[in-house]
Structure 1
Amino acid sequence: MTLVLPLKPAETSPETLANHWPVLLRNRSSGPIQAPWWCDRNAGDEPLRLLQACPRYAPTNLICLPRTAERLGLGEIWIKDETQRLGIGSFKGLGGAYAVLKLAMKHVERRMGRTILPAELFEPRVRSMLTELTFSCASDGNHGRSVSAGARLIGARAVVYLHGGVSDERAAHISRLGAAIVRVAGDYHDSVEAAADAASQDGWIAVPDTVGPGEDDTACTLVVQGYAILIDEIVSATTEQSKPFTHVLVQAGVGGLAASVFGHGWARGLFGPDTHLWIVEPELSACLYESARAERPIRLPPGPATNMAMLECQSPSLLVWPIIDALATGFLTVTDEQASDAVRLLNAGISGDAPLRVGESGAAGLAGLVKAADDRRDQLGLDQSAKVLLFATEGPTDLSVWSGSR
């Protein structure tokens, strides 16, 4: 199903966000939520089946940060460490790679006239069919790495479109996986449009991680479905814990991870009825925050760059916006300085907490938590009874400018 919603220009520019209190609170939808199939209870089963065929697949760690919780006056803080995911160093490894494998299987099944098993993707006869495939996507860095890794695994080709703001270091991470790089003038959404146009013209398989008005969402749903594995791993890791999470903070660009966490988390019973589900975004690129304020998906005008580059997106993915709109109870924005402070806090560890080497985008959730605890602790229920879930979504991608080295 393709969701077609109006995408209207923002009525305020990113620079005006500083004039708003950086936490927008809302009531969760009171009616029943009709969850799409890509975040239902069993959404993670098929992605896990395919990704277990990858040599580097292993569950990532859910880490307790008791000293950080004590410092912030909270009961518990848990953080899902995605910095080691599939050798890619980001949760994105779950989405793009799975979509490539699933789409490759469908291609082979059409050719052979029967279903195949994941292991058959690596058999010589099947691999000869896959060498004729080219997968393409746009990326700020990590999605391109995931798509490229998936294509390389099965012997297919990958072409990744990068806008001018993507650093040479991030481009090099993708190139090392064998992908061809195409540079595009403009911002992230310009690269998304260029990738889609090229795929349509050349007969490639597009693997986008965002959907605009009227666009085919087939591949994007697979990308977001892959993120369900992350929630399944958290459910397994917390089986013996009786107290549910009271606050869940997920950093967001176009919103794919947040929608999967919120939707699949609800389907798996990970959250209680009063759990706060919050989106955290860069102050300079907060398309979900502004969409929530406008009560419709909007597109921000181009603005200044943020050090949370993996979250620098101008509009929500229309595939996932309905879930975020229905389930999110808060939207927070953080500054570049606050993200840098969170990087240094995680990198150093606090009085025995495990140090985590996390990029600025990966530390945004903690930055949002610190900001919320400092500004409106009582109003937001951030006290000794709070049990908070965060996500270290990625390691550092640009070491030359990484806050942890300064």
Structure 2
Amino acid sequence: MKTTDDLTFQPDFHRAIEYFRGQEAYQTSPLREVSGPDGQTIWLKDETSRMGLGAFKALGGPYAVARLIMQGWTAETGEEIEASRLKDADLRAFASGQTFVCASAGNHGLGVAAGAQALGARARIFLAKTVPQSFDERLAERGAEVVRAGETYDDSVAEAIADADRTGATLLADGTWPGYTDIPKLVMEGYTVIAEELRSNFETTGIWPTHVYLQAGVGGLAAAMAHMIRRNWAEQPELIVVEPEAAPCLVASHEAGKPVRADGPDSNMGRLDCKEPSIVAWQTLERSGVRFVTLTEDEGEAAARAVTGLGMATTPSGAAGYAALCKEFPEGAPRAEFRPLVIISEGPA
């Protein structure tokens, strides 16, 4: 598929919602109300059981796999198809000849593997040494070939790119860089479902968040959420993008006025430990009026323990938004006009 350097993110979110409503495993993820520091009421969007994969990325990779197979079929046959056709024997035969390759810090690879397996395609996932060994088995259960490659996430990305160039497989990354922007927008389009689920809930109650905390690695989730919130939420909250101090690529890019690397040590917020931003996500966030918070390793760990104690087992990556909330408001009486929303983005690794 030809790629461009078009950094505009204008997703067809209606298409994404329609696709997932046709999937048997799809359910709206829970929006939970909990009592946080000093009794403050907090909304937690619980992605820890999303579609059997236990992370928000169940909405990204599988959706992109489906869209790419549909696009490939149309390019080869001229037939425009609906998603329901993906179950048909001729489409599955076509998909069986497709291989999707990506690097992953864990959850994106699971999404790509699950999407490929569901449609009869193949997946090959590259993992750096920093990714927990538990992901190897989980990926294999979804039919993926797992390749351990490199010391860091960036190393595994380079290996995945080289593999796609060598084998003709489709590179399905969740980050964007010069010369590669189109396919990851499909991943981000899948994430817009979360914002639409939330909008539906808040429109029903008439009560909207005042602050939304969005954790970020390369920035795909944060950018998709920010775009949708600014596009069509009736009441506009403050948007806070949360990164590890060890990998603050988005705030560094914001300060530089252009996408830049932000090198640092390995972070225990492994799914957020990305040293280089998605250029599409960066531009989307820049026009969305966000601000930034960075976290220490201890702050991420403490938040994971706190959220797990609230009944949602998660990781420092999954609880990063909660950590930022606690960092900004460590004490003081509950505020009636302060209604924070946090995304619990994954279950335990």
Q: TM-score range by the shorter chain?
A: over 0.9
> Alignment partner for residue 63 of structure 1, among 32, 37, 42?
32
Percent identity between the two aligned chains: 33
Match of 1:211, SS state, is coil
Q: Check 1:343–1:159 CA distance in 2 against 1; reply closer, same or farther (3 A cut).
A: same
Equivalents in 1 of 2:277, 2:86: separation in Å?
34
Q: 2:23 aligns with which of 51, 54, 62?
A: 54
CA deviation after TM superposition for structure 1 residue 73, in Å: 5.7
Q: Which of 244, 247, 260 is residue 211 of structure 2 equivalent to?
A: 247
Is 1:307 the counterpart of 2:280? The answer is no
Asked which structure has the greater CA Rg, the reply is 1
Contact 1:279 1:328 in 2 (8 A): no
Q: Which fold has the larger relative contact order, with Cα–Cα distance below 8 Å and residues 6 or more apart in sequence? A: 1
Alignment of 1:352-391 (within 5 A): 355-374=311-330, 383-391=335-343
For the residues of structure 2 that align with 1:61 and 1:270, how far apart are their CA atoms? 21
Over 3 Å counting, the alpha-carbon distance change for 1:81 and 1:116 in structure 2 is same
Give the match's secondary structure for 2:203: coil
| SS of equivalent to 2:317 | coil
Supply the distance in 1 between the matched residues of 2:86 and 2:271 (Cα, whole angstroms). Answer: 31
Cα RMSD between the aligned structures?
Answer: 1.9
In the other structure, the counterpart of 2:9 is 36
Deviation, 1:107, is 1.4
Q: Provide the aligned length of Structure 1 versus Structure 2.
A: 347
- Describe the superposition over 1:162-209 as per-residue Cα deviations: whole angstroms up to 9, x where unpaired: 112112112221121110011211311221122122112211111110
1:242 offset after TM fit, Å? Answer: 2.6
Q: CA deviation at 1:44?
A: 1.9
The answer to whether structure 1 residue 123 and structure 2 residue 96 are counterparts is: no
In structure 2, the partner of 1:13 is none
Please list, as runs of the form range in 1=range in 2, the aligned pairs for 1:273-292 lying within 5 A after superposition: 275-292=237-254
Kindly state the Cα deviation for residue 54 of structure 1 after the two structures are TM-superposed. Answer: 3.1
- Residue 320 in 1 paired to residue 281 in 2? yes
Q: Deviations over 1:285-319 (max 9, x none)?
A: 11112222323221023x32221100000011001
Post-superposition Cα deviations, 1:353-381, rounded to whole Å, max 9, x if no partner, equal xx211221010100000000128x89xxx
Distance 1:326 1:73 in 2: 34
The unaligned stretches of length 5 or more in structure 2 are: none
Q: Give the partner amino acid of 1:320.
A: A
Verify: 1:180 aligned to 2:153, yes or no.
Answer: no
- Measure the CA separation in 2 of the matches of 1:347 and 1:186: 30
Matching residue's letter, 1:62: L
Q: How does 1:262-281 map to 2 (within 5 A)?
A: 262-272=226-236, 275-281=237-243
TM-score normalised by L of structure 2: 0.94
* TM-score, L = length of structure 1: 0.81
Please tell me whether residue 139 in structure 1 is matched to residue 112 in structure 2: no
Q: Quote the Cα distance in structure 2 between the aligned partners of 1:257 and 1:205.
A: 22
User: Do 1:163 and 1:184's aligned partners in 2 also have CA atoms closer than 8 Å?
Assistant: yes
